[in-house]
Amino acid sequence: MNQPDKETKVQKKPKIESYDIAKSDETLHLAVDLAKFIKENRLYQNIQGKEYVNVEGWQYAGSRLGILPVVEHVVNISTDDEIKYQAKVNLLDLRSQQVVGAGFAICSNREQGKKYYQEFAIASMAQTRAIGKAYRNILAWVIRAAGYEPTPSEEMDYSGNEPSAKAKPAVPTEKKATMKSSTAEPVAEAAEQQEEQSGSVRYASAKQKEEIIRLLNNPTITRQEKTKMLLNINRFDEERAAQAIDKLKKVIEEREDGQSAAA
């Protein structure tokens, strides 16, 4: 007697598997679903007190609407003293097989924090930004309805990074404070100290960044510590990066020793 009810429930499920962008009531339901998904998977960054969704969050919203990104081109527009790429992405509606949006984006190694990026990374970021931009052009209101800023976080990682105007403390004084506390403070403190940095001259090298990321992947490092460090990694100068590497090694060693003793 109960079987027909079960079958009815099963038949209803596919209706919420995808949404129609032309129907506002459905997209509002998507906004609720989107807010939960982004929160649970930490697909956002807090920048100056506001929350911006990563491109993965925008892609999730698009996929629920049957709208997928198709890269039209990634063009090398570099010069002798600059690595620079431009990308264009189209949005394809799988239902109609028509292009419903597009986005252009550029990435350059002359941007703040990207001086030592390799060429493939610059090209990749141009493509990532273009994907976010394309989705923003048609889905910004859905992201806003979900409670987030209607700009992809990848567009924000190179804006608002100008050196602070209040940068008057002597550099040696700032370094001494960092050196004294480096052995006792948690890993996340190394990232917080970058907030006070007033315009680096030489940014961390690619090798230093790779080493930091390798160390952050150690199981003893918490997800919160890893996230905080990664959000600030592009602001590190060479000396701060070296300090962060030393601190990570010490913390990992101490925690691994503690685990061995407990076992």
- Give the whole-angstrom CA distance, residue 89 versus residue 128: 9
- Give the whole-angstrom CA distance, residue 157 versus residue 201: 19
Measured CA to CA in angstroms, residue 1 lies from 9, 10, 11, 219, 233 at distances of 14, 16, 17, 52, 61
pLDDT of the residue at 187: 55
Closest Cα partner for 72 from 1, 7, 133, 13?
Answer: 133
Instruction: Give me the percent of the chain exceeding a pLDDT of 90.
Output: 25
Which of 107-116, 137-146, 211-220 has the weakest average pLDDT?
211-220
pLDDT of the residue at 27: 65
Instruction: Give me the percent of the chain exceeding a pLDDT of 70.
Output: 68
pLDDT of the residue at 4: 53
Cβ-Cβ contacts under 8 Å for 144 (sequence gap 6 or more): 150
Assess whether pLDDT exceeds 70 at residue 194.
Answer: no
Stronger pLDDT, 190 or 45, i.e. the higher one? 45
Assess whether pLDDT exceeds 50 at residue 207.
Answer: yes
Question: What average pLDDT is seen over the chain?
Answer: 75
- Give the whole-angstrom CA distance, residue 262 versus residue 256: 10
**What's the alpha-carbon Rg for the chain, to the nearest Å?**
22
- Give the whole-angstrom CA distance, residue 23 versus residue 32: 15
Assess whether pLDDT exceeds 80 at residue 181.
Answer: no
Closest Cα partner for 66 from 27, 40, 28?
Answer: 27
- Give the whole-angstrom CA distance, residue 133 versus residue 228: 25
Joined together, the tokens standing for residue 104 give 């252009």
User: Please, which pLDDT band fits residue 190 given cuts at 50, 70 and 90?
Assistant: low
Closest Cα partner for 204 from 161, 163, 235?
Answer: 235
